[in-house]
């Protein structure tokens, strides 16, 4: 007994010190927000554990609105959103926010017209007209004008939209607002809008199921969802006048093209729908992380920024496998300067030479 | 001390005053008192929870209540972009779809309950009853998927073409039928509330004393007359309770309804047109409601649903009370 006691005490002491060390080394970071990028974010979190094993990142996909609210209430270390914060929301946090684009998504029109097997072409005017309820039959001459050679039936158009609030709806309505002043006046852009016509389907699966089972219907789904579920979709005419098939490449091209007209001082709250550029797919958008400009937590500040740095650089190689479009090079460059500008108590969090070791 | 102890009670016992006895009793009942307080606390916890829910709803809805007041209940425009919110289509859709569900479910459920208690051969009663009750265990998202992939195509492609010529002139069936509609939502709701109504009605009918039936049969009634004139009136308060239970479930059901009802902020009497319900709208828009007024309007919706449910339950209790009183008078007449 006398011999065992000191050993046991030593063991307990060792365990205690080890656990306190572990507690120091284990850093927890929490984030919340958009559901659209959730698959890639959770992939990044998983892969990043091999880079920083003692860093624990929890991302809750509670929706963009919830992400902005939790970020504004400082209950999470970072937020995530599919639609940028408005000026008044930024005012509510005293401007203490930086939008960091992480990946790109795009939205495609999908339709079900009995007897039509060719890929349909759409223009902004057509889509706006259909979703406003001004074009109500597939045999409308305006549809036939951009689809020569396709025999369109005399069939009523059934519009299907998302019933749940969604970043997908934000991108879709942002595009319609840009190409149609009528749309921007009557419905506008938001995660949910006052739809002039149509049925609401719940989520991408709800829209896709309703479209596939309703003759004469047209809806919109995320490109990722369409690719992974082999749903046919139409091409859309871009500003350059080309009918572009949505793809990861044409989505990245839209961002690259849009960035050419954007200054270096951008806050990234930019819409890249209806972008210039011959290959740009016109219904695309960034999804953003929300980070504070002035960080206050010395424990999480640097690991968080290093994670975001990694995600926007090395992490981009995981986008392809999950069907997200990667950031164009210029965006990554600008993201670097933004991340370097973030401070903790007045001094930059990341060292000036960060990324120097990166090839 | 230890030596004195056995003597003391003996010495004291004859000299206990009534005041002391009361004190002793109180000491004995201290455990009772704690027990009573604990039970009281537990009993009050649930009403307190209710109060907390109402309080939370009112606080969350306050910005919207202040801005829209009762106009919220009478306006039909739901425009998150412009910040204009009116819940009338939602309120209408909630009540309308639930009514449709009850119109379909109550005859079916009552028929099943009557058959199982009065007419079915004995070997059939338990298995069929259990199968009906099993319907209550199916998750609502499964009902939603089944509705999307089976019920809607069935209604649209098989049933609608047959009944359309006969009913199209009615305001309840006007307009084109695309599938997602009040009819589809109401039908799925009917299937979902049916097991509740059927199970409770069955228990109620089983509780009707055999002497009631025997008396009716002895007076020369057929079995059907005995059921219709004696058994059902005897159990009508309980049956009414079963219907209200089902109605309460229909009003609050979310997932299956939102998958089938079409989610359109529009008031239409036509069953083949899309509609929307409060629960579905809240579930749909809550996660991505970015503006605080949008969020507040959704909480206001929740408050309205709460009030509707309370009103329905209160009305039902009052009706049950009336019916129960009436049944005594009715049996006197028989």
* Structural domain includes residue B221: yes
What is residue A202's predicted lDDT score, i.e. its pLDDT?
Answer: 84
What is residue A111's predicted lDDT score, i.e. its pLDDT?
Answer: 94
Closest CA to B172 of B273, B306, B269, B317: B269
Mean pLDDT across A179-206: 90
| Chain A, nearest residue to B181 by Cα | A199
| Chain A, nearest residue to B295 by Cα | A65
Chain A residues in contact with B262 (beta carbon < 8 A): 199-200
Across the interface, of B176, B178, B284, the residue whose CB is closest to A165 is B284
Q: Is the pLDDT of residue A15 over 70?
A: no
What is residue A228's predicted lDDT score, i.e. its pLDDT?
Answer: 84
* Structural domain includes residue B76: no
Task: Give residue-wise pLDDT tens across range A47-80.
Answer: 999 998 889 999 998 888 888 989 999 999 999 9
- Candidates B78, B288, B291: best to mutate against A (most CBs of A within 10 A) is B288
3-class DSSP state of A345: coil
Chain B residues in contact with A87 (beta carbon < 8 A): none
Contact B180/A210, CB-based, under 8 Å?
Answer: yes
Chain A residues in contact with B81 (beta carbon < 8 A): 187-190, 193-194
* Structural domain includes residue B15: no
- Placement of tokens 């005293």 in the chain: A94
Q: Are B162 and B149 in contact (CB under 8 A)?
A: no
A273-276, Cβ contacts within 8 angstroms, sequence gap of 24 or more:
A273/A171, A273/A174, A273/A175, A273/A178, A274/A124, A274/A175, A274/A178, A274/A179, A274/A238, A274/A239, A275/A238, A275/A239, A276/A239, A276/A240
**Could you tell me which residues of chain B have a Cβ less than 8 Å from any Cβ in chain A?**
77-82, 148-149, 152-153, 176, 178-180, 258-259, 262-265, 274, 276, 280, 283-290, 294-295
What is residue B289's predicted lDDT score, i.e. its pLDDT?
Answer: 81
- HEC profile for B222-252? CHHHHHHHHHHHHCHHHHHHHHHHHHHHHHH
Q: B98 is written with which tokens?
A: 């639930």
Distance of CA B318 to the CA centre of its chain: 16
- Name residues of chain B where pLDDT drops below 70: 1-16, 24-28, 325-334
What is residue A26's predicted lDDT score, i.e. its pLDDT?
Answer: 84
Q: Is the pLDDT of residue A8 over 70?
A: no
Give me the number of domains chain B comprises: 1
Contact A210/B148, CB-based, under 8 Å?
Answer: yes
* φ, ψ of residue B2 in degrees (nearest 5): -70, -30
A213 touches chain B (CB under 8 A): yes
* Structural domain includes residue B103: yes
What is residue A260's predicted lDDT score, i.e. its pLDDT?
Answer: 85
Closest CA to B290 of A285, A74, A161, A67: A67
Please give, rounded to a whole number of angstroms, the shortest distance from the CA of A61 to a CA of chain B: 9
Domain limits for position B316: 83-332
Chain B residues in contact with A217 (beta carbon < 8 A): 178
What is residue A307's predicted lDDT score, i.e. its pLDDT?
Answer: 95
CB atoms within 10 A of CB A168: 30
Dist. CA B70–CA B93, nearest whole Å = 18
Between vectors from CA A110 to CA B85 and to CA A118, what angle results, nearest 5°?
Answer: 155
Task: Give residue-wise pLDDT tens across range A267-309.
Answer: 899 899 999 889 999 999 999 999 999 999 899 999 999 999 9
Q: Is the pLDDT of residue A329 over 70?
A: yes
Dist. CA B106–CA A277, nearest whole Å = 62
Which percentage of chain A shows pLDDT scores above 90?
60
What is residue A6's predicted lDDT score, i.e. its pLDDT?
Answer: 52
Contact A163/B258, CB-based, under 8 Å?
Answer: yes
What is residue A166's predicted lDDT score, i.e. its pLDDT?
Answer: 85
Kindly list the distances between the CA atom of residue B131 and the CA atoms of A47, B112, B125, B150, B192, in Å, as whole numbers in the listed order.
Answer: 48, 11, 10, 20, 13
- Candidates B278, B285, B290, B297: best to mutate against A (most CBs of A within 10 A) is B290
* φ, ψ of residue A78 in degrees (nearest 5): -145, 155
* Structural domain includes residue B166: yes
* Structural domain includes residue B51: no
Contact A213/B149, CB-based, under 8 Å?
Answer: yes
- The full DSSP string for A90-143 is HHHTTT--EEEEEEEEEEEEEEE-TT--SPPEE-HHHHHHHHHTS--BTT-HHH
- Placement of tokens 């309770």 in the chain: B241
Size of interface A-B (CB pairs under 8 A): 105
Across the interface, of B259, B287, B288, the residue whose CB is closest to A206 is B259
Chain A residues in contact with B79 (beta carbon < 8 A): 193-194
Across the interface, of A62, A158, A192, the residue whose CB is closest to B285 is A192
Q: Which residues of B185-205 are buried (b: 16+ CB within 10 A; e: fewer)?
A: bbbbbbbbbbbbbbbbbbebb
Dist. CA B56–CA B58, nearest whole Å = 6
Chain B residues in contact with A191 (beta carbon < 8 A): 80, 288-290
- Placement of tokens 């000026």 in the chain: A87
Across the interface, of B79, B258, B287, the residue whose CB is closest to A66 is B287
What is residue B327's predicted lDDT score, i.e. its pLDDT?
Answer: 52
- Which domains, and CATH codes, for chain A? 4-103+265-269+285-348 (3.40.190.10), 106-259 (3.40.190.10)
A3 vs A205, more confident? A205
Residue A339 — very low, low, confident or very high, per pLDDT cuts 50/70/90? very high
Q: Average model confidence (pLDDT) for chain A? A: 88
Chain B residues in contact with A188 (beta carbon < 8 A): 81-82
Dist. CA A305–CA B99, nearest whole Å = 55
Question: How deeply is B16 buried, as exposed, middle or buried, from its count of CB atoms within 10 A (0-12, 13-18, 19+)?
Answer: exposed
Closest CA to A267 of A327, A337, A173: A337
Contact A209/B178, CB-based, under 8 Å?
Answer: no
* Helix %, strand %, coil % of chain B (to 5): 80, 0, 20
Dist. CA B96–CA B60, nearest whole Å = 27
Question: How deeply is A159 buried, as exposed, middle or buried, from its count of CB atoms within 10 A (0-12, 13-18, 19+)?
Answer: buried
Task: Give residue-wise pLDDT tens across range B218-269.
Answer: 999 999 999 999 999 988 888 988 999 899 999 989 989 999 999 999 899 9
* Structural domain includes residue B68: no
Chain A residues in contact with B284 (beta carbon < 8 A): 163-165, 192, 200, 202
* Structural domain includes residue B268: yes
- Domain harbouring B170, CATH code: 1.10.3720.10
């Amino acid at each position: 007994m006398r011999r065992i006691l000191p050993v046991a005490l030593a063991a307990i002491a060792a365990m205690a010190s080890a656990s306190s060390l572990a507690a120091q080394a284990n850093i927890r970071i929490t984030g919340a927000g958009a559901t659209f990028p959730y698959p890639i974010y959770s992939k990044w979190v998983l892969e990043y554990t091999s880079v920083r094993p003692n860093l624990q990142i929890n991302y809750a996909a509670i929706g963009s609105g919830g992400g902005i609210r939790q970020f504004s209430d400082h209950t999470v270390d970072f937020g995530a959103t599919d639609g940028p914060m408005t000026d008044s929301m930024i005012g509510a946090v005293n401007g203490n926010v930086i939008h960091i684009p992480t990946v790109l998504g795009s939205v495609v029109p999908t339709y079900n017209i009995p007897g039509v097997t060719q890929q349909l072409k759409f223009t902004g005017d057509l889509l706006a007209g259909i979703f406003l309820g001004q074009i109500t039959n597939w045999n409308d001459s305006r549809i036939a004008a951009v689809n020569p050679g396709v025999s369109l039936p005399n069939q009523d158009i059934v519009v299907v939209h998302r019933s749940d609030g969604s970043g997908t709806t934000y991108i879709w309505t942002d595009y319609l607002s840009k190409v149609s002043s009528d749309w921007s006046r009557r419905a506008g852009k938001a995660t949910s809008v006052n739809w002039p016509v149509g049925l609401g389907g719940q989520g991408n699966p709800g829209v896709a199921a309703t479209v596939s089972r309703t003759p004469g219907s047209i809806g919109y789904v995320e490109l990722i969802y369409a690719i992974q579920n082999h749903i046919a979709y139409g091409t859309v005419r871009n500003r350059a006048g080309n009918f572009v098939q949505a793809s990861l490449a044409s989505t990245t091209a839209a961002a690259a093209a849009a960035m050419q007209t954007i200054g270096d001082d951008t806050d990234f709250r930019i819409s890249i729908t209806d972008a210039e550029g011959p290959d740009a797919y016109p219904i695309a958008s960034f999804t953003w992380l929300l980070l504070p400009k002035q960080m206050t937590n010395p424990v999480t500040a640097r690991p968080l920024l290093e994670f975001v740095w990694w995600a926007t650089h090395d992490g981009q190689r995981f986008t392809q496998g999950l069907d997200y479009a990667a950031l164009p090079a210029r965006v990554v460059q600008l993201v670097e300067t933004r991340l370097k500008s973030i401070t903790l108590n007045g001094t930059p969090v990341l060292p000036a030479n960060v990324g120097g070791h990166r090839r | 001390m230890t030596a004195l102890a056995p003597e003391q009670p003996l010495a004291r016992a004859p000299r206990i005053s009534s005041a002391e006895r009361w004190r002793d009793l109180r000491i004995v009942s201290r455990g009772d008192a704690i027990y009573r307080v604990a039970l009281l606390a537990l009993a009050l916890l649930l009403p307190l929870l209710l109060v907390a829910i109402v309080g939370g709803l009112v606080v969350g809805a306050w910005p919207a209540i202040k801005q829209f007041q009762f106009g919220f209940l009478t306006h039909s425009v739901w425009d998150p972009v412009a910040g204009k919110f009116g819940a009338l289509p939602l309120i209408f859709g909630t009540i309308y779809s639930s009514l449709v569900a009850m119109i379909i479910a109550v005859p079916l459920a009552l028929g099943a309950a009557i058959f199982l208690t009065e007419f079915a051969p004995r070997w059939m009663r338990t298995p069929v009853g259990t199968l009906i009750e099993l319907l209550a265990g199916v998750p609502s998202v499964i009902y939603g998927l089944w509705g999307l992939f089976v019920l809607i195509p069935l209604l649209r492609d098989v049933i609608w073409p047959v009944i359309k010529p006969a009913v199209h002139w009615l305001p309840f069936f006007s307009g084109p039928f695309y599938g997602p509609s009040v009819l589809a939502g109401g039908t799925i709701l009917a299937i979902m509330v049916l097991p509740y109504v059927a199970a409770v009605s069955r228990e109620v009918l089983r509780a009707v004393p055999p002497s009631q039936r025997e008396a009716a049969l002895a007076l020369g009634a057929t079995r059907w007359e005995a059921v219709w004139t004696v058994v059902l009136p005897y159990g009508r308060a309980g049956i009414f309770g079963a219907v209200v239970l089902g109605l309460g479930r229909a009003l609050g059901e979310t997932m299956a309804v939102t998958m089938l009802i079409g989610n359109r902020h529009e008031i239409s009497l036509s069953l083949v047109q899309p509609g929307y319900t409060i629960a579905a709208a809240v579930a749909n828009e809550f996660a991505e409601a970015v503006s605080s007024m949008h969020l507040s309007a959704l909480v206001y919706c929740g408050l309205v649903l709460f009030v509707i449910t309370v009103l329905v339950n209160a009305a039902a209790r009052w009706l049950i009370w009336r019916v129960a009183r009436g049944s005594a008078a009715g049996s006197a007449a028989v």
